[in-house]
Chain A
Amino acid sequence: MANSDTSKRLNELRMKHGRPPASPSEPKAEKTETLREAQPRFRGLESGHRACQGCGEALAARLVMESAGPDVMVANATGCLEVFTTPWPQSAWRVPWIHSLFENSAAVASGMEAAMKAKGKNTKILSFGGDGATYDIGFQSLSGMLERHHNVLYVTYDNEAYMNTGIQRSSSTPHAATTTTSPVGKERMGKRHLKKDLLSIIAAHHIPYAAAASVAYPQDLQRKVRYAMGVEGPTFLVIHSPCPLGWRHDSALTIEVARRAVQCGLFPLVELERGALTNIMPIREPRPVADYLELQGRFSHLFNKDDYRAQEELDHLQALADHNIDIYGLRGDGVDPVDTTGMSHVKRGGPLMGGR
């Protein structure tokens, strides 16, 4: 036939765009689902992103997207997450996603939320930032967003320094950790100052829900995301996300490091509603902070037997952990299936406490 080439080309186009064939004799578009597409979870953050090996932040963001998606939009501050997920012309995101500046992701999210409200849509707005964008640079826009009571879930991926620009200290960097701007030396044993207690500041905004989570406890993390998604109004989640590069630990140990941070009390997993402490993850048997610190190169100077200051700083960090355990009442009484030990347990076919 004279026009067979044309008809073939037209059919190819129909197939390409998923349109029905022009006639029953024409071949149908065969849409076979790939294994990846068939995964029984929402893939909000796809593979191919450029995060380092063993990145805790990439894991945390993936877990958040799984529980929050698919009807969400994301405003993302400058930082690792923004950089490694969106090397133009590619994007690892499968939801609407906007990046503007370092300091304004909460402000952008506020605008997006207002726009959705104006359009009469229920799409939830997420605002993402690292600890630099949250504790330091974007802090005032975050405070404003919370104060204006926007219906936004703000998630901060806390890897405790400016990792994207080369490991500079932030106000979230823990005491005594070495970074390029708080180096260890004759004068100082790493960072002189303390980690900012951001959660208390957030809670002081009297928002409906603020919580701390850790990548070491994915089921707990995802439960907190789901809970926050159901809250009307501003909610806040800080997720402890180890950075193998900046914390100088093996990329395979990301979860182990995060788990020990929780188990020693340095990163308490707490939930606050309207400023009041409503839930904690009890620690079954608190570990010494040294167990957590010894895995990380950023604290290696604390194990220098020849430096008298090392033991002093170790004791200081232990005192900070003990203080957390004390003020939040983290010491559990006996075996609790949702404490730091029980939350990890798995059985054949999945987590023991999944979907609590």
Chain B
Amino acid sequence: MTQITRGTWAEAGTSLDFKTGNWRSTQRPAHIHAKAPCHVACPAGEDQQAWFAELQQGYPEAAWRSLVAANPLPGVTGRVCPHPCETACNRVQLDGALAIHNVERWLGDEAVTHGWDYPVTPPDEDAPVVAIVGAGPGGLSAAYHCVRLGLRAEIFEARPEAGGLLRSAIPPTRLPRAALDGELARLLDLPGITLNLRQRLGRDITVEGLRARFAAVLLSPGCEMPKPWSVKGAVPADLHEGLALLRDFMDHGALPDAAKGDVIVHGGGNTAMDICRIMKRAGARSVTLITASGLPGPGTAPDDVINVVPRELEEAQEEGIAIIDHATVSRLIMKGSRVTGVEIVALKKEKGKDGRKRRVEFEGTERVISVDMVVPCVGEQVAPEAFEGLLSGAYFWPDNPQGRIGERVFAIGDARGSRGTVAAAIGDGRIAAEAVAAELAGEADPVTDARPEMGFDGLNTAYYAGSARVPVAKLPVPERTFEAEIEGGISRAEALAEAQRCLSCGNCLACDNCWTMCPDNAVIKTVEMATDGSHYVFDYDYCKGCGLCSEECPTGYIQSVPETS
């Protein structure tokens, strides 16, 4: 038989002895978990991508657990939040943002229905106790996060019920009381949380007293006092401020008689929007909103758009609320001390000499509207009683992200001055609780997550199937009452289908693209050894650094980084 000489054959697979990894010169692939834009935009600090990933695998309970790691009230925020996450969603540029708030609300409701347990362990009996002033969303979130971090929380609330402005200022058409009570009861039932009702700061307790008795004091009093409002010094005798009107209506179900006529609401926030709709529904002849901001549209700059939940604006217009944008009330026309008309003038925010925007009224655009009632809704500030020495003007204005305004004293939520949403208050509660826990453990403040954001350009959209956003039913205008929720819910099937639309921006999808497309077999598939949450590791012994995997990674999780790093 012919002898095969050594030079004519080779052992199978021996090329593994040749490490092509040293061919890389400038770049290598790396797994980089960038933040999804929804997560970046969320004032409550939720990682929507993370909980959608659980939902994509068909685990709603795990998704809810992941969600409540940041936000204990998804049933509430799913209903009331202006969802900046959806505005930021990269899918906007494909076929519409994910219906994040609808899915969040569904998860919150599922948790209440099925009694899913919050992921907390009961704190020790002798754990430090944190005093929390105010049982609004910020205070409740702070209490929850204290317990989650092994502390105990004692809440002091001035009113007879917990909930803060969720109860007093948000109509049931947006947040049905059953949904609010269901979620709040479960939260307040957690071991380690004590709720003291009818305890008003200044009357029953003081900040100093609390500081002496507790490990730390978290202040989330909210903003209860209307900002002063007058038109060139004139104030009607029967002035009803918007938030107070809203509260009275929700407590007693009645509005002043003048509200039957033509009403002008002056302002541009969610409270203004709510009071407009309630007065219209209660039988006002006409309701007109005068706002200095612009309506959303192609010609409106993003910082000039009226600051309300977009779908609320849409619904208000459906219900016949007239809106005069870029205008203000320039004069009240009074008969005695009663308002009979207003003069309005066109106005816009323009850049001044110093580059800062200021309001400019345009002379010659004045017109007079006859009205029966003017409701100012220009915002609220902290009621200053009992906060001597802590307030900086109308608000606390802390100069640090933790909200620290004194030794072991933190400010949370609207009272900080720079906030304005329930989600922001919930986020503040978490951040302050984390800072307290770190301080009590003798550690420095937790560092903020400085990871970069994954923008649309970092994705490879060739790999995503198109699918339209889930349509959500809305109550038709004639059927809208003071109680029934206007926006409908979604089904389990719809929630799971919506989850499949998540692009998983910046995080591994385990789609196998890198594993399938590496020409050099240098991507190894493994669940156990991939400690970064992906399913793959790079075999840098053989990776030639061609960059194909990072190019074809749909989510941008693989990026080419300089070889030296």
Q: Which residues of A contact B (CB under 8 A)?
A: 35-36, 38-40, 43, 45-56, 58-59, 62-63, 85-95, 215, 218, 244, 250-256, 259, 335, 341-342, 344-352
| B224-232, B401-409, B461-469 - interface stretch | B461-469
Contacts A47-B522, A218-B517 known; A254 to B548 CB distance under 8 Å?
yes
Does chain A have a CB within 8 A of B539?
A: yes
Does chain A have a CB within 8 A of B244?
A: no
- Smallest CB separation, B515 vs chain A (Å): 9
Interface residues of B in 515-560 (CB under 8 A from A): 516-522, 524-526, 529, 537, 539, 541-542, 544-548, 550-552, 554, 560
Could you list some 18 contacts between A and B, CB below 8 A? Answer: A38-B526, A47-B15, A47-B16, A47-B20, A48-B17, A48-B18, A49-B20, A50-B20, A53-B546, A54-B544, A55-B546, A56-B519, A90-B11, A252-B547, A252-B548, A252-B550, A252-B560, A259-B462
User: In the complex, are the beta carbons of B521 and A47 less than 8 A apart?
Assistant: yes
In the complex, what distance in Å separates the CA atom of A345 from the CA atom of B509?
A: 12
User: In the complex, are the beta carbons of A253 and B551 less than 8 A apart?
Assistant: yes
User: In the complex, are the beta carbons of B519 and A348 less than 8 A apart?
Assistant: no
- Smallest CB separation, B444 vs chain A (Å): 37
Which of B509, B513, B520 sits near A348, CB closer than 8 Å? B509
In the complex, what distance in Å separates the CA atom of A41 from the CA atom of B120?
A: 42
Sorted from nearest, which 8 A-B pairs have the closest CB atoms?
A: A252-B547, A48-B15, A54-B546, A53-B546, A346-B511, A47-B542, A91-B10, A92-B15
Residues of A within 8 A of B537 (CB): 35
- Smallest CB separation, A260 vs chain B (Å): 10
Residues of A within 8 A of B19 (CB): 48
- Smallest CB separation, A177 vs chain B (Å): 22
- Smallest CB separation, A36 vs chain B (Å): 6
* Among B518, B525, B552, B554: residue with most chain A CB under 10 A: B552
User: In the complex, are the beta carbons of A59 and B519 less than 8 A apart?
Assistant: yes
> Which residue in chain B gives the minimum CB-CB distance to A43?
B521
Which of B463, B520, B546 sits near A346, CB closer than 8 Å? B463
- Smallest CB separation, B517 vs chain A (Å): 6
Interface residues of B in 1-35 (CB under 8 A from A): 6-7, 10-20, 23
- Smallest CB separation, A243 vs chain B (Å): 11
Give the total of B residues in contact with A, Cβ under 8 Å: 54
User: In the complex, are the beta carbons of A46 and B16 less than 8 A apart?
Assistant: yes
Which of B56, B519, B545, B548 sits near A62, CB closer than 8 Å? B519
Does chain A have a CB within 8 A of B102?
A: no
User: In the complex, are the beta carbons of B20 and A54 less than 8 A apart?
Assistant: no
Q: Which residues of B contact A (CB under 8 A)?
A: 6-7, 10-20, 23, 53, 56-57, 462-466, 500, 504, 509-513, 516-522, 524-526, 529, 537, 539, 541-542, 544-548, 550-552, 554, 560
* Among B7, B15, B529, B550: residue with most chain A CB under 10 A: B15
Which of B7, B11, B465, B522 sits near A91, CB closer than 8 Å? B11
User: In the complex, are the beta carbons of B544 and A92 less than 8 A apart?
Assistant: no
User: In the complex, are the beta carbons of B548 and A255 less than 8 A apart?
Assistant: yes
In the complex, what distance in Å separates the CA atom of A5 from the CA atom of B414?
A: 81
Residues of A within 8 A of B551 (CB): 252-253, 255-256
Contacts A36-B524, A59-B519 known; A46 to B13 CB distance under 8 Å?
yes
User: In the complex, are the beta carbons of B15 and A85 less than 8 A apart?
Assistant: yes
Residues of A within 8 A of B552 (CB): 255-256
User: In the complex, are the beta carbons of B12 and A95 less than 8 A apart?
Assistant: yes
User: In the complex, are the beta carbons of A40 and B525 less than 8 A apart?
Assistant: yes
> Which residue in chain A gives the minimum CB-CB distance to B530?
A35
- Smallest CB separation, A100 vs chain B (Å): 11
* Among A53, A56, A215, A351: residue with most chain B CB under 10 A: A53
- Smallest CB separation, A178 vs chain B (Å): 23
Known: A252-B550, A255-B548, A348-B504. 15 other contacts (CB 8 A): A49-B15, A54-B548, A55-B546, A86-B10, A88-B7, A88-B10, A90-B14, A93-B13, A252-B546, A252-B547, A252-B551, A254-B546, A259-B462, A347-B511, A348-B56
User: In the complex, are the beta carbons of B519 and A51 less than 8 A apart?
Assistant: yes
> Which residue in chain A gives the minimum CB-CB distance to B547?
A252
> Which residue in chain A gives the minimum CB-CB distance to B516?
A218
> Which residue in chain B gives the minimum CB-CB distance to A57?
B519
